[in-house]
Amino acid sequence: MKLREEQLWFAGAVMTGAAHEEADHRLTAGPKLGPRERLDVYRHAYVARLIECLADDYPVLKVALGDDAFDALCRAYVARFPSEAPSLNAYGRRMSEVCTGFEADLARLEWAIVEVIHEPSRTPMTLESLAAVPEEAWAGAHLVASPALRLLTLEYPANDYFQAVRDGHAPAIPAPGASATVVYRSGLTVWRMGLTPPMHRVLAALVGGEPLESALALAEGEPPEQVTAWFREWVSSGLFVGVEAG
């Protein structure tokens, strides 16, 4: 099938530069450009489009690396992970795999933002619905987390860096330091919330579906009123969409 053979050659030439010279006999010259130059319009567009997509998904990683290093990273990504989907919505999902150290954590954070954008919204649970749980069922009840929520444990303070860039600063690349962040969507807005270690323990347990009583007990030495305040904030922020009896 001539058409198949033609497409295999053209796609290879565009995506990898393979058999580029065959343009001389497969394609015609234009009024002002030769066959190879005409083919190069597609070669450049292919890479440029995918880099643009990655830049949309990773704007702060681009700041952290600088334009040239980010461009080189994206070119390596495009070469390693050609798109296999009709939509570009999930194209950048593997960026953290080609990054190391702080950049890998920043990529995880930025991809979490993309993920929660594409997860469905559910009507948030209210504190009133929680109050409706019978007292005897309280200890064993567990919460249902919003699908538009990602809980990240990172080796660097990536969220602090992200926020500083968003605030218009030019922060230095941070030293290693464990951090936890919850990324979630409420309505049309994506939020990021930094978590202290005890907050993270409790929230991770709640998101994981552990019974309320045992999850809240993970706060250990924190004042009860403090734990209550966290809990009220998480619920009112829309992190949970339901409560189920144990």
Partner 1 sequence: MANRFGLPDLGVGLGLRSVHYTHIVEAQPEVDWFEILSENYMQTAGRPLEWLDAIAARYPVVMHGVSLSIGSTDPLDRAYLTELRALRDRTKARWVSDHLCWTGVSGKNTHDLLPMPYTEEALRHVAERVRAVQDFLGAPLALENPSTYVEFASEPRAPVMREWEFLARLAEEADCALLLDVNNVFVSAFNHGFDPRDYLAALPFDRVVQMHVAGHTHHGTHIIDSHIGPVVDDVWRLLGDAWQRAGGTSVLLEWDAEIPSFEVTHAEALRAKAFAPASLREPGPDDPLAGSRGTFVGPRGVKP
| Residues near partner 1, by CB under 8 A | 1-4, 6-8, 10-11, 14-15, 23, 25-28, 30-33, 35, 37-39, 41-42, 45-46, 49-50, 53, 82-90, 116-121, 148, 185, 188
Residue 174 Cβ vs partner 1, minimum distance, rounded to whole Å: 29
CB of 69 to partner 1, least distance (A): 24
Angle CA 191–96–13, to nearest 5: 120
CB of 14 or CB of 61, closer to partner 1: 14
Question: In terms of CB distance, is 170 or 188 closer to partner 1?
Answer: 188
How far apart, in Å, are the Cα atoms of 177 and each of 112, 119, 157, 240? 19, 29, 6, 28
Residue type, 46: Y
Burial of 168 (0-12, 13-18, 19+ CB in 10 A): exposed
> Closest separation between CB of residue 183 and partner 1, Å?
13
What distance in Å separates the CA atoms of residue 60 and residue 83, rounded to the nearest whole number?
A: 23
Q: By the 8 A CB rule, do 56 and 114 touch? A: no
Nearer to partner 1, 109 or 154 (CB): 109
Nearer to partner 1, 28 or 131 (CB): 28
| H or E element, residue 38 | helix 35-57
How near is the Cβ of 80 to partner 1 at its closest, in Å? Answer: 13
